[in-house]
Structure 1
């Protein structure tokens, strides 16, 4: 008799396929002892038969039209009724080393198979209920879920802190708080050779950090010593924390902000253009960002009221900044005003501190399940908008944008085109109010540079 061997293992913890190899060896020995010829052996390693996942080996078995099937145990072949019915449709006998013979060619045999499978399904469901209850109890006790892949920052026991990885997590969080992007954090970790354990486990070739992976890590309560179950915090964890709560909740607030778009203000990302998040649309008053239009780089608001050529706007704004810097009275008047107003900064510092504490509290409430994500993001948007206003006032009160202590203003003027983008952006935002005007039916070639871009100087004395 020709038989087709089918073997399966639900979970291969070590990834070495030894479980299915042992099943196949026993099946071959069983067939040899009875003089059966093994037509082929099909396997599914590390695949459950109860979770609805496609089993390639099982599908290949059904397509192969076997004369008979040999398995280590019937539950390796079928665990749910829907799969049994597909095997019954084959009309062949199923031989199992440790569960006897199922004659699916007769009504009585099929009835027995259906009964056995129904009880197997029942036991599987009961086992799942018991496992869930056990997992919930362990989670509430703060114990780690050690059956999964080890988390970045902790050892194989999910408890011991890995110093190098922990330092990278702290550094990554500080980068986000300093306004750097998820891309910058991922790049720093990849360049340091710090590969995600999940990436290592799921690929023979270790892959780098993704933006989603970095965000999930930096917003996970695990790193402040909190145990979660299915996304909800259920108690204090047994393992030590890596981040302090203030840093963690600040990252949560930044990375879940609805205003987090490329190039805009309050995004936590580093803008890649001079006027993104600074210049205003002359129609709606919203800030603009960099984009493309018919292959050309332009600035535009979300509603695309304006599509101002980027090169034209940058040149106009740069010249305006330099023109203001060369005025003899400009910097002395600003410095004098700062000296007079320095005493007013104390209450602004207090207000900023209170706003930051509110942000932390909002994030904490979300992490503890007291508010929803939409509530947290909406509240974060409102508080951060107010905090930006206060911090803008503090910038004007306490100092100027960056100036090279050696080159000074003269060096800034001379080297403006090659100055770092953050420096040029800071000076534009400090000196100018930039408005990009919509065409309003005019063709771009018929518009002057002043038609496109309106510039007003800040910190100027009103005319008498």
Structure 2
């Protein structure tokens, strides 16, 4: 086959690209391809392979253009593109095209003759100016984005954020409720995967997930939502909080920063304690080590759940300690002097759930520590730590103020009374059971007795003593 000039027909590789495809319909690259085919016909080229990089930047070093790489590897006879900046935006890519010794024809920019020194010099000059303009445009855009963030305006260039409508301001009630539920799950010790499953199973998919055909939530996606300052109404620029945004908040500040402290705490990823979780065992922080006097916590030893202090002086089987502490607590409640002593204190236990307040206060203290650790490790920046610490401290002050003013005995249903508490003990929330155990008994974990540890009786593992109710009242 020959062209109009009687020479052999060149087989052209068409390359099309756009940096951002907001609709995902690839209309931009389709229009480019149509124009490139027309140019091929005018020049007498046979259309060969079509290489398409849709929704990909040509200036970022971290972005790989798969079809650009494939085109270079295919050793094309000639390249046709809509504009040279669709093919090459930076000098490093131009040099790679020069190295394969191929000429470039562009619909909007003419012919780049890379076979001669003069042509290569022109190409390098054009590309240098394209790189300059790209960098200038980026700087202008950064400045505009910074000014918008300082003014509290939403960044609307990308896809809408989960929880807000297309204007990035109007709250979508169903999605907002999912965000609140997810944050509450994290604060109660549940995992990101549990939140991701909950949102996916409920059909509350992310906008990107919907655009991708119903893609499920990823752990990274859930974390980005629950740790973004946007959801407490904060405008940010490159991760730094700039001030109040012009959109309503979905999460309360203490809830949001509590989740941030938990999800960004380095210990979460290193096998350490899960900061922010309330105690998950009956006697953690209540039972004392019989050697050093420090409080014990739940852990495992050779596959057996045990209680022990930080220095592991004791390894008291959890099942034995929990059973004995529960039995002693219930026995104390049915003793004849118990009810008159409690009711005679003149305090109303139903005024507030003190166990819940103490647990919440402890969780807030741990989240404050978690924020500090996350900042030290670089997981969050100074503005996030400052804003988060202020929100959590304000909440902690309110909780501690409540604790000072409530009854000095743990909660119980004033209608069902102590008898109802005893009867429904197994179904009573753990914080309430912990509060009553701590109110009624003193628990001491005892060390194992050498090689005869397997022969130890329950009394050898743990020591239980009733507390003096008069001392509690004081």
Alignment TM-score > 0.5, same fold:
yes
CA distance in 2, matches of 1:196, 1:79: 33
1:436 is matched with 445
Q: How does 1:388-399 map to 2 (within 5 A)?
A: 397-399=407-409
1:87 is matched with 97
Is the partner of 2:124 in helix, strand or coil? Answer: helix
Confirm whether residue 204 of structure 1 aligns to residue 209 of structure 2: no
Confirm whether residue 297 of structure 1 aligns to residue 305 of structure 2: yes
Of 233, 245, 265 in structure 1, the residue corresponding to residue 241 of structure 2 is 233
1:104 is matched with 114
CA distance in 2, matches of 1:379, 1:435: 38
Of 13, 16, 19 in structure 1, the residue corresponding to residue 22 of structure 2 is 13
Deviates more, 1:72-81 or 1:267-276: 267-276
Rate the CA distance shift 1:289–1:27 in 2: closer, same or farther, 3 A: farther
Rate the CA distance shift 1:241–1:39 in 2: closer, same or farther, 3 A: same
Of 144, 148, 154 in structure 1, the residue corresponding to residue 154 of structure 2 is 144
Q: How does 1:157-236 map to 2 (within 5 A)?
A: 157-169=167-179, 189=199, 192-201=202-211, 203-208=212-217, 210=219, 217=225, 220-236=228-244
The answer (yes or no) to whether the contact 1:265–1:278 under 8 Å persists in 2 is no
**1:211-241 deviation line (CA, Å, top 9, x unaligned):** x656654554434544222233324433344
Shift of 1:209: 7.2
Rate the CA distance shift 1:95–1:304 in 2: closer, same or farther, 3 A: farther
CA distance in 2, matches of 1:321, 1:71: 81
CA distance in 2, matches of 1:196, 1:111: 48
When normalised by structure 2's length, the TM-score is 0.75
Rate the CA distance shift 1:384–1:112 in 2: closer, same or farther, 3 A: same
**1:237-276 deviation line (CA, Å, top 9, x unaligned):** 3334445xxx3245425642769979x9995435543334
1:346 is matched with none
CA distance in 2, matches of 1:460, 1:259: 42
Confirm whether residue 125 of structure 1 aligns to residue 130 of structure 2: no
Shift of 1:63: 2.0
Deviates more, 1:369-378 or 1:89-98: 369-378
CA distance in 2, matches of 1:73, 1:284: 77
CA distance in 2, matches of 1:424, 1:99: 78
CA distance in 2, matches of 1:204, 1:214: 18
CA distance in 2, matches of 1:392, 1:18: 62
CA distance in 2, matches of 1:235, 1:340: 44
Confirm whether residue 256 of structure 1 aligns to residue 264 of structure 2: no
Q: How does 1:245-324 map to 2 (within 5 A)?
A: 247-249=252-254, 251-253=256-258, 255-256=260-261, 268-269=276-277, 271-282=279-290, 287-300=295-308, 304=312, 306-324=314-332
The count of residues paired between Structure 1 and Structure 2 equals: 437
CA distance in 2, matches of 1:180, 1:191: 20
CA RMSD of aligned residues (A): 4.5
Of 38, 41, 48 in structure 2, the residue corresponding to residue 29 of structure 1 is 38
Deviates more, 1:328-337 or 1:411-420: 411-420
**1:394-435 deviation line (CA, Å, top 9, x unaligned):** 56x3543334844x5445445544555444334333333434
Confirm whether residue 335 of structure 1 aligns to residue 347 of structure 2: no
Is the partner of 2:437 in helix, strand or coil? Answer: helix
Is the partner of 1:42 in helix, strand or coil? Answer: strand
CA distance in 2, matches of 1:158, 1:173: 20
CA distance in 2, matches of 1:305, 1:385: 33
The answer (yes or no) to whether the contact 1:93–1:105 under 8 Å persists in 2 is yes
Rate the CA distance shift 1:34–1:193 in 2: closer, same or farther, 3 A: same
**1:369-407 deviation line (CA, Å, top 9, x unaligned):** 996666778899999999887766656x3543334844x
Shift of 1:46: 0.9
Q: Could you tell me which runs of 5 or more consecutive residues in structure 1 were left unpaired when the two chains were aligned.
A: 344-348
Is the partner of 1:193 in helix, strand or coil? Answer: coil
**1:292-319 deviation line (CA, Å, top 9, x unaligned):** 4433333455665544333233222222
Is the partner of 2:21 in helix, strand or coil? Answer: coil
Shift of 1:286: 5.6
